[in-house]
Amino acid sequence: MTHWHALSTQQVLHEQGVDLRSGLDSQAVAQRLRQHGLNHLTVMPGEPAWRRFFRQFHNPLIYVLLAAGVTSLALQSHLDAAVILAVVLINALMGFVQEGQAEKAMHGVRKLLASRALVLRQGERQTVMADQLVPGDLVLIESGDKVPADLRLVRCKQLRVFESSLTGESVPVDKSTEPVAHNAGIGDRHNMAYAGTLVAMGQGTGVVVATGVHTEIGHIGRLVGGLQTLHTPLTRRLDQFARQITFFILGVGALSFAYGHWVAQMPVQVIFMAVVSLAVAAIPEGLPAIVTVVLAIGTRNMARQSAIVRRLPAVEALGSVTVICADKTGTLTQNRMTAVHLVLADRELQVQSAGDRPLADFVHAGEPIDPAQAPDLLALARCAMLCNDARMVQNAIGQWQPVGDPTEGALMALAHTAGVQREARVQHALRLDEIPFDAQHRFMAVLVQAPDGQRALLLKGAPEVVLDLCATQATGKPLDAAHWQAAVARTAALGQRVLALAQAPWPADVASVQWRDITRRFELLGLVGIIDPPRPEAVAAVADCQSAGIQIKMITGDHAITAAAIGAQLGLRAQGVITGEAVEAMDDAALQHHVLQTDVFARASPALKLRLIHALQAQGHVVAMTGDGVNDAPALKAANIGVAMGHKGTEAAREAADLVLTDDNFATIAHAVREGRVVFDNIKKSLMFILSTDVGEAGVILLAIFAGLALPVTSVQILWVNLVTAVTLSLSLAFEPGEPGVMQRGPRSPQEPLLTRPLVLHMLFVSVLIVAVTFAAFEWALARGDSLALARTTAVNALVFSQLVCLFHARHFTRSACHRETFTGNPVALWVSAIMLVLQLLFTYAPPMQLLFQTEGLDASSWVFIGLLSGGLFVAVELEKAVWRWRGVVRL
């Protein structure tokens, strides 16, 4: 085993057969990929299919049904036992298939969120999937990245790495390139960056020395990430509800058996089968499977709209969001920074048609100027190009596009507009050293050497930081701080982000730069005003969220005036912008008061985001927070819903998030909130339909037992009804498209119970109607002289068709069902209704079914009467809905 940490940089490069200037070529990559395999950890084998199938029976509801089936079999009631076991088997199959689909969906999510790595191959920087890395690859890492393989570092710049996943060390570790003792522990190997650890700050280059299962994290068998469980707070509440209702039904069943046997003197087998029918009718055994289907459909719909759910509770919690805290750049705006305004020492210029077009015009006082005749402009443009990590490339249709950080891309496009890329002093300039940008210091510095040997330290960053570091301005005069501060304010008031650029001469014998060298020695070259225009769809999405009762808080690191201008364009309350400095001066009580008074927060730090979340949550708000950097991870975890950017976001942010936006678009968050509301609504509709119909079926049997009446339906017939409706009708509500105006109502309270008082009253009303319709059909048939079997056939069909009416009413909470959309808005409901109709016709007329279920064919008058009863039930529920609407209730 090679101790890579004990070898020198040159030894490592020699052993791996790689050139530091060019990296591996494609031939070497292909050969090593065949030799070492893909760079991923071995996925632990999933639960066997047979075990997943038998686990579907591990449920108190199912235990009761299985006990009833076995007892029926022991009492020689073979048909009843067969139907009970069929109900149990179909429910198990539904759960088994759905869990398999959910597992596949989660594997798909892992693929969508696969890691990427920046490598140097064949002399060019390339972004590749992390599983394509091979030993010998040169990997470039920077703040926010997750290290994709075990790396021996060969270059470091202020590099610090979080290694808690390996060592448990809670603070980041400083990295270097010097070799260490061969017996040094993992925590002391300061020249190594291990797979799965996170870069806290700085930049580095490392040689891949181990991939996949051969990495340190592979050796100790720890998987970073993994599949998410299908249990959510909602499903746990439903499981608890199912246990409670099971015990309640067992109690009611025992009381019914005691009354029927000892009071009504019914034969033991008859009353027992009646009680079995009662239990099967009342137990909502299909509810867990339907909830899983609803959640899976919601997850799939969100993925289609570019929102990847990493943790399933997010589907449910999204429906309760009351505040969304969103980053400005790239989420609310286009993330296409464009330089439009320049402030030089003695004049201001406008840049027309800049951005991704290198041939733009510089305009002063309405007249175009020639950059070649403007030394002050050229000096600024050279600094913009050389103090920059972006580059310009031509796309497939010949247009120039900046590649890299959007702000740096705007500066690079500005430099191309000025034409400095053609100057020899720029083309052949050598970058000797650099201090990368970080959020704490808010500047970037680059040490460059011109072809004639002259060296200069170039600086760009936030104007208030750069101005403090400047002693003079481009004219050679002392810095006029008041003039420049006024120019910053004017430019920012236009909604532009302002950067300051400066330079300082550098000794010819010094080839490096340290933090201590950044002192008040610079000459200010000018200011650049850059704008990132709001996304048009974000403006509409903000309005949609506000109409849905959701507050939008825009958080940005920009100047307060800039933030206010962009916020106003987005339709936010931008008066009285709160800055990070102001928040630091507030105690928690003051912050809780002020956080609701404005929608715009400027000069924000990661600590400010965390305090905002806590201030909002302390007042009962459910908060969604967006983030993309490694420093955003605490805020993403603290929020009720953490939302990471899939495109520009770091691995650290994506790991901490519940939801990942693959298009980095705020409008996608609004779509996800809508889908979350639809998911919860559909779960409540399913619950409303299943409990209404189950209680109605149980009520038919209870009324017959306690009133001493003949059973309108036999035990095996009630089992048939339960089987048919569980397979067909109840499943269709999972596919509901959503209530009209779902984003025009306020958010759902997290404390709202599943069974609200209006919902319980509605379910009881519908249950009573189902009992009344079933008994009315039964007694009508007997009154006209039909046989008991024919009367029961009529009652069963009335019971089923009354549930069909309830299905279409359940599609909307209180909205009238007297609309065409009620019958056409959910195609699945039409299909399952057709299937149920076919099954009922077979039940009624097919000789084998008549023999099994003791049914007889109905005549036309029976169907007419069933239709009238079902129509009466439809009208009664319609009137009840009208009462709810009159009382101002739109959602039960």
Report, as residue numbers or ranges, the catalytic residues: 327
Please answer whether residues 192 and 5 qualify as being in contact, where contact means their C-beta atoms are separated by less than 8 angstroms: yes
DSSP string, 293-341: HHHHHHHHHHHHTTEEESSTHHHHHGGG--EEEEEIIIIIB-S--EEEE
Question: Long-range contacts of range 842-851, CB-CB < 8 Å, 24 or more positions apart?
Answer: 843/720, 843/724, 843/796, 844/793, 844/797
Q: Residue 870, class by beta-carbon neighbours within 10 Å (0-12 exposed, 13-18 middle, 19+ buried)? A: buried
Beta strand 455-461 pairing with 497-506: antiparallel
CB-CB neighbours of 322 under 10 Å: 21
| Alpha-helical regions (H) of 618-756 | 633-638, 651-656, 666-707, 715-727, 729-732
Residue 40, both tokens: 């991923």
120's enclosing H/E stretch is strand 116-121
First to last CA, the chain: 67
Please answer whether residues 768 and 880 qualify as being in contact, where contact means their C-beta atoms are separated by less than 8 angstroms: no
Reduced DSSP (H G I as helix, E B as strand, rest coil) percent helix, strand, coil of the chain, to 5: 50, 15, 30
CB-CB neighbours of 740 under 10 Å: 12
Distances in whole angstroms, Cα of residue 330 to Cα of each of 407, 471, 666, 742: 11, 35, 9, 27
Residue 427, both tokens: 């083309």
Residue of 689, 716, 693, 713 lying closest to 701 (CA atoms) = 713
- Cα gap 177→595, rounded to integer Å: 46
Which residue spans within 539-693 are E strands per DSSP? 551-555, 578-579, 600-602, 623-627, 641-645, 659-661
Please answer whether residues 198 and 147 qualify as being in contact, where contact means their C-beta atoms are separated by less than 8 angstroms: yes
Q: Which residues have CB under 8 Å from 125's CB, separation 6+?
A: 118, 119, 140
Distances in whole angstroms, Cα of residue 808 to Cα of each of 284, 287, 492, 579, 841: 19, 18, 56, 52, 20
Tokens 């810095």, residue? 479
- Residue 145 has what DSSP assignment? P
Instruction: Say how far residue 341 (Cα) sits from the centre of its chain.
Output: 37
| Alpha-helical regions (H) of 113-232 | 164-167, 216-219
Q: 504: which strand partners?
A: 457
499's enclosing H/E stretch is strand 497-506
- Cα gap 611→159, rounded to integer Å: 28
Q: 139: which strand partners?
A: 119, 206
Which residue spans within 334-377 are E strands per DSSP? 338-343, 348-352, 361-364, 367-369
Please answer whether residues 770 and 696 qualify as being in contact, where contact means their C-beta atoms are separated by less than 8 angstroms: yes
- Cα gap 696→284, rounded to integer Å: 12
Please answer whether residues 673 and 319 qualify as being in contact, where contact means their C-beta atoms are separated by less than 8 angstroms: yes
Please answer whether residues 698 and 278 qualify as being in contact, where contact means their C-beta atoms are separated by less than 8 angstroms: yes
- Cα gap 619→613, rounded to integer Å: 10
Residue of 9, 105, 478, 117 lying closest to 312 (CA atoms) = 105
